[in-house]
Amino acid sequence: MTAVDEWELFVSGSVEQALHAFRNNYRKYGSEGSLSNCGLALLDLERFVEAISVFEEIRRAELRGRTTSETTLVKLGVARWCSGDQTGALREWEMSIDTDYADEAGGVQGPATLWFGAMKTGDRLREQKAIRALEKFWNSRLLGAKRWPGPAAIAGFILGNVDEQLFVHGWAKSPPILEARRKCKALFWAGVKQKNQSIAVKYFTAARANRHAVLEPEFYLAKCVCAETSR
């Protein structure tokens, strides 16, 4: 089975089969990508303790190579948050602000998730730290962009510089799979900032509706929030 076939299984919703394939691939080739995919599949299956173990293993490998990755710490934080370990999640997200490798905007995902967690838990010091980090990524010229300007748009929205209509609907659509991933992100953050609870739930539900977004941390956070609101 090729890596494309494995990923198609995952995206189609055959998550247990995909997990088995990811694990086999990792045993054969030792690919960090396959191990990370195992972690995502475990998140999707809500096997959070196992997901934490996987992302911790990736983190240890990175440290042995004397490098750090925002993406790994964000995913580890998501797994901890969904498991109920909010303190651990905040710790991982705070560390993700200062890493060697980050997203295409240079590191929006880490402070964004830290802001989310700090805001939810009432941690004002970390919330302000996240805001200060996000301010580095926003440029008002991005408001004139014809297409989604990447993660920097999230920084602008959290900071209150981009309105909800533009953030969710205004920028020109990307190719279908990229648009699914963009929409997942935009809908999740719109839900986080939405004061009307029923509208927020609709946003979170829509954020996790398209499985082409399974690469995005927001996909799993949206699932987690939906599960919490349905209890």
What's residue 102's pLDDT? 61
> Where in the chain are the domains?
1-84
What's residue 34's pLDDT? 95
Task: Tell me the per-residue pLDDT of 19-56, one tens digit each, with 9 for 90 and over.
Answer: 999 999 999 999 999 999 999 999 999 999 999 999 99
Q: What is the largest CA-CA distance in the chain?
A: 49
What's residue 66's pLDDT? 86
What's residue 229's pLDDT? 83
Q: How far apart, in Å, are the Cα atoms of 141 and each of 78, 146, 152?
A: 31, 11, 11
- Mean pLDDT within 166-172: 90
What's residue 98's pLDDT? 87
What's residue 160's pLDDT? 97
Residue 147 sits at φ, ψ, to 5 deg, of -115, 165
CA dihedral 227, 32, 91, 188 (to 10 degrees): -40
Q: What is the pTM of this model?
A: 0.95
Note the CATH number of domain 1-84: 1.25.40.10
d(C-alpha 121, C-alpha 127), whole Å: 10
Q: Indicate whether 138 pLDDT > 70.
A: yes
* pLDDT tier, 13 (very low <50, low <70, confident <90, very high otherwise): very high
Contact 28, 20 (CB under 8 A): no
Residues 6+ apart with CB under 8 A from 127: 115, 118, 119
Mean pLDDT of the chain: 94
Q: Indicate whether 3 pLDDT > 80.
A: no
Strands (E), the chain: none
What's residue 105's pLDDT? 53
Task: Tell me the per-residue pLDDT of 47-83, one tens digit each, with 9 for 90 and over.
Answer: 999 999 999 999 999 999 988 899 999 999 999 999 9
Q: What is the DSSP string of 98-146?
A: S-SB--TTSS-HHHHHHHHHHHHHT-HHHHHHHHHHHHTT--GGGGG-S
- Mean pLDDT within 190-216: 97
Lowest pLDDT segment from 72-81, 85-94, 110-119, 141-150: 141-150
